[in-house]
Amino acid sequence: PRTGYIDPFGGQADLKNKILRTVGDPETRFREDALRILRGARFSARFRLIPDPATMEAMVRLAPLLDKIARERVFEELCKLLKSATAQDLQQFIPLLTQVIPELTPSVGFQQHSPHHRYDVFTHTAHVVEAVPRELPLRWAALLHDAGKPAAFTMDENGRGHFKGHAKISQEIADHVLLRLKAPSALRQQVTELIGLHMTPLEPDKKLLRRRLGKLGRERLEQLLQLQEADMGSKGTGKEEEMEQFTVLREMIAEVLAEDACFSIKDLAVNGHDMMALGMEGPNIGKCLNALLDLVMDEQLPNEKEALLSQAAGKL
């Protein structure tokens, strides 16, 4: 109380100057607990700090020590980093990211040879991560959505690159990565589902959107839109085409939801008991209900009990 702040390591000056520095020797600190390497990246991203040269050099040089850290701890730190990271942060800390997620290494500097992409695969990925909301399923999906591109790459006779099937490859890579990092099963399922669907065209067609809503639900469909929007808007060409389609899609989804439309079997005006009353048994009940749902979503049949029972009875 008489002396005031005691600051033997110059912490206040570093905070004022936005510098990230270890207390004492960086190598000693990181060897004490290698997770501090990722934590340093997180602090840099969250508080917009610049690592001083000695700290940054030690972070990169000692990154292999992260292999000895429990995967759960690494995953937790990566989640915190992803929530704060900008594209610049991800590029700055490539050596750390590729150490703990080596599946990202092939994408670093991988040129796409496409007039629709100015960035290499990892730079594009970094921009997509920054562009999606700071929600873990979206941030992880963005980070890994193109991890399969290098493996899927082919070049045609005109020198143009193609990545046929890369969504499926990326989905498999993401599943492997998140399994290894011991991510929660629910998060892994959400991330892999989004990655697997990220190249699926979403047309402004009410019938198709009803089906998507029935399969994915409102929240997941919106996440898919957010991932696709970020993907399309992060190509670096300055000519991000067809971005207005996302406004149209959201407006149409809102209209479908306002109509209180039927998206799943549970929304039908009939149920399994009604089918049993008609004399159906076993798997035939589910088959009939699914057929009725298809007709309702395609607007070929109203979701009214009498009409549905009449249709079902005609199939007996």
Q: How far apart are CA 93 and CA 85, in angstroms?
A: 10
Query: What is the reported pLDDT for 303?
Result: 84
For the chain, give the secondary structure using H, E and C: CCCCCCCCCCHHHHHHCCEECCCCCHHHHHHHCCHHHHHHHHHHHHHCCEECHHHHHHHHHCHHHHHHCCHHHHHHHHHHHHHHCCHHHHHHCHHHHHHHCHHHHHHCCCCCCECCECCCHHHHHHHHHHHCCCCHHHHHHHHHCCCCHHHHCEECCCCCEECCCHHHHHHHHHHHHHHHCCCCHHHHHHHHHHHHHCCCCCCCCHHHHHHHHHHHHHHHHHHHHHHHHHHHCCCCCCCCCCCHHHHHHHHHHHHHHHCCCCCCHHHCCCCHHHHHHCCCCCHHHHHHHHHHHHHHHCCCCCCCHHHHHHHHHCCC
Query: What is the reported pLDDT for 201?
Result: 87
pLDDT, mean of residues 31-46 = 97
Tens digits of per-residue pLDDT, 259-312? 766 777 888 889 989 899 888 989 988 889 888 888 887 778 888 888 888 888
pLDDT bin (cut points 50, 70, 90) of residue 250 is very high
Query: What is the reported pLDDT for 240?
Result: 56
Query: What is the reported pLDDT for 168?
Result: 98
Query: What is the reported pLDDT for 316?
Result: 55
The residue whose two tokens read 């046929």 is 164
pLDDT, mean of residues 74-79 = 98
Tens digits of per-residue pLDDT, 259-270? 766 777 888 889
- More confident call, 208 vs 94: 94
What single letter denotes the amino acid at residue 248?
A: V
pLDDT, mean of residues 139-161 = 97
Tens digits of per-residue pLDDT, 163-192? 999 999 999 999 999 999 999 999 999 999
Residue 223 in tokens: 């996440």
DSSP string, 80-123: HHHHH--HHHHHHTHHHHHHH-GGGGGGTT----BTTB-S-HHH
Query: What is the reported pLDDT for 315?
Result: 65
Q: How far apart are CA 186 and CA 174, in angstroms?
A: 13
Highest mean pLDDT among 80-84, 251-255, 279-283: 80-84
Contact 263, 214 (CB under 8 A): yes
